[in-house]
Chain A
Amino acid sequence: MNVAVFRKTLWDLRWGLVGWGVGLAIYAALMNGLFPSLKANPALDAYVESLPEEISRIFFEGGGGSFTDYGTFIRAEFLAFLPLLLSIWIVGAAARIVVGEEEGKTVDLLLAQPVSRASALLQKMAALLAVAVAVPAVVGVALVLSSATFDPGVPRWRLLSAPFYAIPFLVAMEGVVVAVAAWAHRRGPVIFAGAVLAIGWYLLFITARLQDSLESLRWATLYAYYDGNNGFHEGPDPAYWLVSVILAAGTTWLAVVLYRRKDLLT
């Protein structure tokens, strides 16, 4: 099996892996560094209880929670933002490796070689997925290492695996953005559409959490299937994963169909 495009794309994405991996690892370490002082401050719980229920719901599902509990803290202050942050990376990376190659005109050189468009696109997506797995792995290790000085109250393997719950979300996000990129001819519209989707979904998810009347709308966002399957406390729920995987498969199929039919204008 020829994986030359996969290897080349992986090489192209290496700085993204380093940058986002190190950046999120530092973020995780900072949160862990903060936690012992929060835990030693019971006044914080009193402050959280004094917050309006609507504000409290942003941090804690159902409105109740405590920042002195490590699991609740790291979920609310770090893991909840992980898919949003990684979405920003995946939108930029997908736009660059698919449409950026058209804008840079190197697509002529690539597709003049004996590689089908479908194969080229799927190899690029696979490389993006590989990095999308590697970044949570780096973050997981950072969570474990930076919590070595205190007892988080949860098994270390749960800490290590917690960022991996973002992977189905990222795969689905990748499928959606690559499908847009397979249709578009410029990076700008892809980044715009990806950003609108990532942030729009997030805002809708938060709004649905705040407003009981809008509660059902959260299921129209990808974040609901990440949040519902956080697994940090309850363990993974394959049903939630399935939604992301089905969305990823459908959008990947659409991306391949669109890319195969696309006029490469350059």
Chain B
Amino acid sequence: MSPTFRCPSCGQQRLGTSGLPLVCASCGFAGTTPGPAPRPAIEIREFSKRYGTSMAVEALSLDVRAGEIFGFLGPNGAGKTTTIRCLLGFLRPTRGSLHVLGLDAWSQAAILHHRIGYVPGELALYDDLTVEQLLRFIARIRGRIDEAERARLEARLKIDPTRRVRTLSKGNKQKVGLLQAFVHEPPVLILDEPTAGLDPLMQEEVHEMLREARAQGRTVFLSSHGLREVEEVCDRIGMIRDGRLLTVESVDELKRKAPRLFEFEFEDEPRIEEFRHLAGVTDAAVQGRTLRVHIRGDADALVKAAAAHRVKRVDARDVDLEEVFFRHYGGGPP
């Protein structure tokens, strides 16, 4: 017998099947029947990895939803690559578990790899093979290759399959790495610095490929140092430092919560004390007649305080993700 659900808008009772979309016959509300939430594409639970006496990742828990592009950020040595290598089953977690598409990343790695496309951070290909031979080798392991998709990607990424791998530039090798990850159209893509070494035009092409993958319902786990890249393509971001996850938030939310930057140029020299303790001000600096203030939320108090001076110029802008990132890590660029 089908369960009965109540429309969250008008309260009418109706029959339905758990988890399926419905449109209420009474009020027209469109939604999804209550039911078990779809399982995340990637589930990491209390994952820790120790190398000898050094803890590379500690108690990391994270979900990546199916069909999203998830950015994984952190400075060098933060534990990004260790996490990715555990997701691929290259490293055994010291504690906790990592599941991709419901399969255990360590014990079911070979089965799982049918459904994962991977670009390593330090990509190494077989130098003595041509691109064609390399792709045939991978196709033989996988059992099949979609030749039409391969030809399409070769054209899109501008890859010459007759070239020997050792003669390729870093950027061209990276394109081959991307091709082998995308060509079997996996539901999950795990990409460690996928645009490293690519020119800006090709980077944009790869971003477009990522957006297309998301539109097809595929999941992307993306590690990158390119903060603008992450800002441009990711839905959510996880930030990791010293092996600990600092935050997981949507890009929009992260930017919304981030302070805005106001820059005033006055006719006279302002005193920092006038602004430092205003409501919402997180940071203030005076240089000559210029005041730079980071502020969260309402800027009313700041504007009123600035009005006590003659203002020659004012600029206001949202800080970009790069600045948010540096604030999290409290230092210079990673």
Contacts and interface: CB of A to CB of B under 8 A. Distances in A.
B232 interface: no
A23 B299 CA distance: 83
B121 to A, nearest CB: 9
Interface string B86-115: 001111100000000000000001110110
Nearest to B114: A114
Contacts of B142: 113-114
Contact of A263 (B90, B123, B180): B90
Contacts of A263: 90-92
Interface residues of A, number: 24
B116 A261 contact: no
Interface stretch (B28-36, B133-141, B201-209, B283-291): B133-141
Mostly, the A contact residues are loop
A112 B192 CA distance: 13
Given A112-B118, A114-B111, A115-B110, A261 B92 contact: yes
A264 interface: yes
Interface in A47-67: none
Contacts of B137: 4, 8
Given A113-B141, A114-B111, A114-B114, A105 B92 contact: no
B92 to A, nearest CB: 6
A216 interface: no
A114 B124 contact: no
A264 B85 contact: yes
Interface string B141-185: 111000000000000000000000000000000000100100000
A104 interface: yes
A266 interface: yes
Nearest to B138: A113
A2 interface: yes
Nearest to B110: A116
A106 interface: yes
Given A2-B143, A113-B141, A108 B180 contact: no
B122 A266 contact: yes
Interface residues of B, number: 28
A221 to B, nearest CB: 36
Contacts of B311: none
B326 interface: no
A105 B122 contact: yes
Contacts of A108: 88, 90, 118, 120, 122-124
Contacts of B85: 264
Contact of B126 (A106, A111, A119, A264): A106
Interface string A1-17: 01011011000100000
Nearest to A5: B141
Contact of A109 (B109, B111, B116, B124): B124
A114 B125 contact: no
A61 B134 CA distance: 52
Count chain B CB atoms within 10 A of each CB in A104, A111, A113 and give the residue with the most: A113
B124 A105 contact: yes
Nearest to B181: A112
Contacts of A104: 124
Contact of B141 (A2, A12, A106, A117): A2
B143 A112 contact: no
B110 A112 contact: no
A2 B143 CA distance: 8
A5 to B, nearest CB: 7
Interface of A: 2, 4-5, 7-8, 12, 104-106, 108-109, 111-117, 119, 261, 263-266
A-B pairs with lowest CB-CB distance, top 9: A105-B124, A4-B140, A116-B110, A112-B118, A264-B90, A108-B120, A114-B113, A113-B141, A114-B114
Given A109-B180, A111-B90, A117-B110, 11 more contacts: A8-B137, A105-B123, A106-B124, A108-B124, A112-B113, A112-B120, A113-B141, A114-B111, A114-B142, A116-B109, A119-B110
7 contacts: A12-B128, A105-B122, A106-B126, A111-B113, A112-B116, A114-B110, A115-B141
Interface of B: 85, 88-92, 109-111, 113-114, 116, 118, 120, 122-126, 128, 137-138, 140-143, 177, 180
